């Protein structure tokens, strides 16, 4: 597998940060012109998505202004469909999301292969408005629709040996064409410590903006862990495993010096190639300060009491 490390990349191949940021500003300023066809397609897809029945969870939701639907669904990372931010919206329609099943295995009393309908059946859906912070220093505010991961975990009754929860994305290169390239090792894998998985903020999302999840955002079901960088919130989940040891995670496998297992949003821990102290909210011109744990410190800081967060980044 060939992956370019920072030392392998020529300086001429790296876009200057200022130019990159101004490019995004120009693209947003001209969205009504040059990007009209792309955004129009996103709007058309919205009407085709099924409406979801849910209640709003105001206690755990942010009161910040929502990022518009078009931006959420046309500017995101999903390397299974390509490495450009626009690639998922262009190519994810190839993915078949029904029928869908999830394998549950490992240290639990109840394991097996479950249809998505059986996974969802006992759970009532909630809308939770969460901040999403990506390691590339951009952020969004997304109205996710989903349910607590903790509730699902309890159903499978993990044993005392289950210290972590591991996740695996679907591997289907004929539809997820980005998997034909050795950008990462496939399938994509992620994991959480058990107490992180059981935290009330952690959800499995099946929709956004009140409609079923668009393919490009992780249909039919994805993880959302709002105090961590976005790549931790694995999409199109096909396997959930209860494991004893810290599970491998895709970006840590690829570039361990840049992406740790925990990947908590922390303005004091820089990416090796850029600072994480500032972020740019999609739809805004100016940058804002990055908040510790993405603004969720009150709910999750206790999980890391006594830990060296620069070592366990």
CA distance 175 to 180: 10
CATH number of the domain residue 200 falls in: 3.90.420.10
Contact present, 236 and 213 (Cβ < 8 Å): no
Site of tokens 């390691």: 135
5 in a structural domain: no
309 in a structural domain: no
Tokens of 220: 């039919």
Q: Is 99 left (phi over 0), alpha (psi -120 to 50) or beta?
A: beta
Count of structural domains, the chain: 1
Those residues of the chain that have pLDDT short of 50 are 1-47
Contact present, 175 and 100 (Cβ < 8 Å): no
Tell me what pLDDT residue 293 has.
98
Read off the pLDDT of residues 129-148 as tens digits, 9 standing for 90 and up.
999 999 999 999 999 999 99
> E strands along 170-260, which residues?
189-193, 203-208, 211-212, 222-224, 237-243
3 in a structural domain: no
CA 194 to centroid of chain Cα atoms = 18
112 in a structural domain: yes
7 in a structural domain: no
Tokens of 294: 């993405």
311 in a structural domain: no
pTM over 0.75: yes
4 in a structural domain: no
Torsion over CA: 102, 107, 111, 113 (sign): positive
6 in a structural domain: no
Tell me what pLDDT residue 83 has.
97
96: containing domain: 13-304
């Amino acid at each position: 597998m060939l992956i370019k490390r920072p030392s392998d990349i020529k300086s001429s191949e790296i876009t200057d940060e200022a130019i990159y940021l101004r490019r995004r500003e120009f693209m947003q300023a001209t969205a009504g012109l040059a990007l009209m066809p792309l955004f129009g397609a996103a709007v058309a897809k919205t009407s085709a998505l099924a409406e979801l029945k849910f209640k709003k969870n105001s206690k755990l939701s942010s009161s910040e202004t929502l990022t518009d639907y078009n931006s959420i669904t046309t500017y995101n990372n999903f390397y299974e469909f390509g490495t450009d931010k626009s690639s998922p919206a262009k190519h994810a329609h190839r993915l078949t999301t029904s029928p869908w099943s999830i394998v549950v295995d490992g240290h639990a009393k109840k394991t097996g292969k479950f249809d998505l309908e059986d996974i969802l059946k006992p759970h009532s859906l909630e809308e939770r408005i969460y901040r999403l912070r990506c390691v590339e220093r951009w952020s969004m505010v997304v109205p996710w629709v989903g349910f607590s991961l903790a509730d699902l975990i309890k159903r499978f009754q993990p044993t005392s040996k289950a210290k972590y929860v591991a996740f695996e994305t679907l591997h289907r290169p004929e539809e997820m064409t980005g998997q034909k390239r050795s950008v990462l090792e496939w399938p994509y894998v992620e994991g959480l410590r058990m107490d992180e998985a059981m935290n009330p903020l952690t959800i499995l999302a099946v929709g956004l903006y009140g409609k079923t999840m668009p393919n490009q955002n992780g249909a039919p079901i994805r993880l959302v862990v709002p105090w961590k960088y976005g790549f931790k919130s694995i999409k199109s989940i096909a396997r959930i495993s209860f494991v004893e040891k810290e599970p491998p995670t895709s970006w840590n496998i690829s570039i361990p010096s840049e992406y740790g297992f925990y990947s908590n949003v922390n303005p004091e821990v820089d990416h090796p190639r850029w600072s994480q102290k500032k972020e740019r909210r999609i739809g805004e011109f100016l940058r804002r300060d990055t908040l510790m744990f993405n603004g969720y410190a009150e709910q999750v800081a206790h999980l890391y009491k006594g830990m060296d967060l620069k070592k366990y980044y």
